[in-house]
C-alpha cells in the first residue's frame, strides 16, 4: 500500500510555526530557475539563525558552502564529513570537477587532470570535492578554527566517541545513493538531541523533479524506505515547499 505524502509547508508558514520572523523573499523562481546556492541557502541560513545550534553535524563538506551557512548564522562548532579523494560516478569518472584557467586561483594540493589545450589555453580540470578543495570556503573566510573536518566514507565513521544527543542539528548532503542516505540518517539519529533538527538536502516529492535527478531519486527513496522509523523519531517531518529541503524536528 502506498504511503501518504510527506506533509509540505511553505517557508512563510514554517517561520510562523517556529515563532520567528520570516525574512523577505527577494526571489520567486520556478523549478527551472531554482538555484540551491541562493534559494535553498536562504532557508538554511534562516533555520540556523533561528535554532542557534552549538554543535552541528554535516554529511558532505564539498568546498564548505553549507558549513559556512551554519558558521556565519550561529556560534556553532561544525563537524563535517567528506571522502578525502572525492566521489566517483559509476564509470569511475569524477562526480565533481571544473575547468580552471588560472591555477593561481585554486588551492595548493588540488587533484588535477590535463586534457591538452584549446583556444582558451590548457584544458586543466580540478577535482572540486577532494584534497585541498574540501572546506576551502570556510578556510578562506577564516572560520576553520570552528570546524572539525573528518575525512572518511561516512559509512565507516565510528560514532562511539560521541554521546547520545551531542548535536543540536544535522545536515545530510553527502552520498546521495539510497543506502548511503539511510546509513547517514541512522548514524545521526541517536546523536541528535530531542528538539534538535535534521535536514536532508535533495529531497523533493515532485515526480518530474525525481525523474530528472538521480540525487533526488536516491534521497527520496531513502526517506520513503525509512518513513515508519522517521515518523516514530520526529515530532515534525515536513518538506519545505518549494525547496530541496526536508526538515525533521526530533521528539
Domain end position, chosen among 131, 151, 167: 131
**43 has a pLDDT exceeding 80:** yes
Same-domain check for residues 240 and 153? yes
Q: What are phi and psi of 249, to 5 degrees?
A: -110, 120
Packing angle of the helix pair 214-225, 178-188 (nearest 10 deg): 50
What CATH number does residue 156 fall under? 3.40.50.150
pTM as predicted: 0.95
Q: Which residues lie closer than 8 Å to 126 by C-beta, 6 or more apart?
A: 97, 98, 100, 106, 110, 111, 112, 133
For residue 123, with 0-12 CB atoms within 10 Å meaning exposed, 13-18 middle and 19 or more buried, which class applies? Answer: middle
Q: Which of 131, 146, 165 is the last residue of a domain?
A: 131
| Alpha carbon separation from 194 to 30, 32, 41, 43, 250 (Å, rounded) | 35, 37, 24, 22, 5
- The mean per-residue pLDDT over the stretch 68-84 comes to 98
> Residue 27: which pLDDT band, with cuts at 50, 70 and 90?
confident
Domain for residue 2, yes or no? no
Q: Average pLDDT in the 177-189 region?
A: 98
Contact 22, 45 (CB under 8 A): no
pLDDT of 179 > 90? The answer is yes
Pairing of strands 192-201, 245-250: antiparallel
pLDDT digits (tens, 9 = 90+) for 111-157: 999 988 898 888 899 999 999 999 999 999 999 999 999 999 999 99
Residue 1, in any domain of the structure: no
C-alpha cell of residue 198: 535534521
Residue range(s) defining the domain that contains residue 66: 8-84+134-250
Regarding whether 117 and 229 lie in a shared domain, the answer is no
Amino acid at each position: 500500500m502506498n504511503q501518504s505524502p510527506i506533509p509540505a509547508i511553505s517557508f512563510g508558514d514554517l517561520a510562523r510555526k517556529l515563532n520567528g520572523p520570516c525574512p523577505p523573499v527577494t526571489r520567486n523562481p520556478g523549478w527551472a530557475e531554482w538555484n540551491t546556492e541562493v534559494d535553498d541557502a536562504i532557508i538554511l541560513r534562516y533555520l540556523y539563525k533561528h535554532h542557534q545550534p552549538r554543535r552541528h553535524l554535516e554529511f558532505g563538506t564539498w568546498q564548505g558552502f553549507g558549513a559556512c551557512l551554519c558558521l556565519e548564522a550561529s556560534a556553532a562548532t561544525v563537524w563535517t564529513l567528506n571522502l578525502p579523494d572525492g566521489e566517483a560516478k559509476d564509470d569511475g569518472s569524477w562526480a565533481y570537477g571544473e575547468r580552471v584557467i588560472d591555477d593561481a586561483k585554486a588551492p595548493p594540493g588540488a587533484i588535477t587532470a590535463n586534457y591538452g589545450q584549446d583556444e582558451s589555453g590548457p584544458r586543466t580540470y580540478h577535482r572540486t570535492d577532494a584534497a585541498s578543495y574540501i572546506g576551502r570556503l570556510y578556510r578562506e573566510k577564516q572560520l576553520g578554527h570552528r570546524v572539525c573536518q573528518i575525512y572518511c566514507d561516512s559509512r565507516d565513521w565510528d560514532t562511539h566517541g560521541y554521546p547520545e544527543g551531542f548535536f543540536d542539528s544535522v545536515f545530510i548532503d553527502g552520498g546521495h545513493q539510497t543506502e548511503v542516505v539511510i546509513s547517514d540518517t541512522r548514524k545521526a539519529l541517536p546523536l541528535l538531541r530531542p528538539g534538535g533538527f535534521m535536514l536532508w538536502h535533495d529531497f523533493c516529492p515532485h515526480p518530474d523533479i525525481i525523474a530528472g535527478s538521480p540525487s533526488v531519486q536516491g534521497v527520496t527513496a531513502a526517506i520513503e524506505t525509512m518513513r515508519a522509523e522517521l515518523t516514530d523519531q520526529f515530532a515534525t517531518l515536513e518538506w519545505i515547499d518549494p525547496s530541496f529541503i526536508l526538515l525533521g524536528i526530533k521528539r
